[in-house]
Chains A and B, each alone.
Chain A
Amino acid sequence: SQTIHQWPATLVQPVGSPLSLECTVEGTSNPNLYWYRQAAGRGLQLLFYSVGIGQISSEVPQNLSASRPQDRQFILSSKKLLLSDSGFYLCAWSRDIQYFGAGTRLSVL
């Protein structure tokens, strides 16, 4: 069966510090991969998605970037975090149905 791992679960970072969130999928090959952000009490905002290694589509201009160095690995990064980057970040994979990781709560102080 397929599983998706996302870490860390919680992260507190100072403004201006770098960020790296990692997501890996097991049990499938060549999945579509996604990064979403969710503000408190709000819906999901698609940040990036990838249909293959090195192929990244950005949906929202922002302070973040994504990379897919391996087929089942998706990384969300920032060189310098802003206060507005705080939120709940969800990684997901899909073929027909989209499945989500447990999420990372990021607080930028």
Chain B
Amino acid sequence: AQKITQTQPGMFVQEKEAVTLDCTYDTSDQSYGLFWYKQPSSGEMIFLIYQGSYDEQNATEGRYSLNFQKARKSANLVISASQLGDSAMYFCAMREAFHGNQFYFGTGTSLTVIP
């Protein structure tokens, strides 16, 4: 089974609108971390936001927030007030605390911000 599933290959959003990128995960560990990365056309992977499995509050970093629903095993990324520079690939990832040092990545979502 896939550890991380991103079901949206491509998304479009109007500039200044909010957008939600979906991510579901699969783990039997109680302790794990969830991450989102942005990959612009230059190729560099940029860390955006982190959520620990024991964190009760949803993580926020500026215009990025992580909608963490533990029972549903989902960790959706919400980008508020979209900007043209947000156009990029977005990857969801997970690290299981007790199963080594690997990070599992989803297949990514391509976001295009329309002016």
Query: Which residues in A have some Cβ–Cβ distance to B below 8 Å?
Result: 32, 34, 42-44, 46, 49, 51, 59, 88, 90, 92, 94, 96-103, 105
A42 touches B107 (CB 8 A): yes
Which residues of B63-81 are within 8 A (CB) of A?
none
Residues A98 and B44 in contact, CB atoms below 8 Å apart:
no
Tell me if B11 is interfacial: C-beta within 8 Å of chain A.
no
Determine if B62 is an interface residue (Cβ-Cβ < 8 Å).
Answer: no
Number of A-B contacts (CB under 8 A): 50
Q: Are B105 and A51 interface neighbours, CB within 8 A? A: no
CA–CA, A51 to B100, complex, Å? 10
> In the complex, what distance in Å separates the CA atom of A32 from the CA atom of B46?
18
**In the bound complex, what is the Cα–Cα distance between A59 and B104 (angstroms)?**
12
A99: which of B43, B47, B91 is its contact (CB, 8 Å)? B47
Let me know if B114 is at the binding interface, CB within 8 A: no
CA A89 – CA B52 in complex, angstroms? 28
The contact sample of 12 A-B pairs, CB cut-off 8 A, is: A32-B101, A90-B43, A90-B45, A94-B101, A97-B50, A98-B93, A98-B95, A100-B45, A100-B47, A102-B43, A102-B44, A103-B43
Query: CA of A46 to CA of B42 in the docked complex: distance in angstroms?
Result: 20
Whole-angstrom distance between the alpha carbons of A51 and B93 in the complex?
Answer: 19
Find the B residue at minimum CB distance from A104. Answer: B43
Q: Which residues of B contact A34 (CB under 8 A)?
A: 103
Going nearest first, the 9 A-B pairs with the smallest beta carbon separation are A100-B45, A43-B107, A103-B43, A44-B105, A32-B101, A102-B44, A98-B103, A43-B108, A43-B105
Residues of A within 8 A of B102 (CB): 46, 49, 59
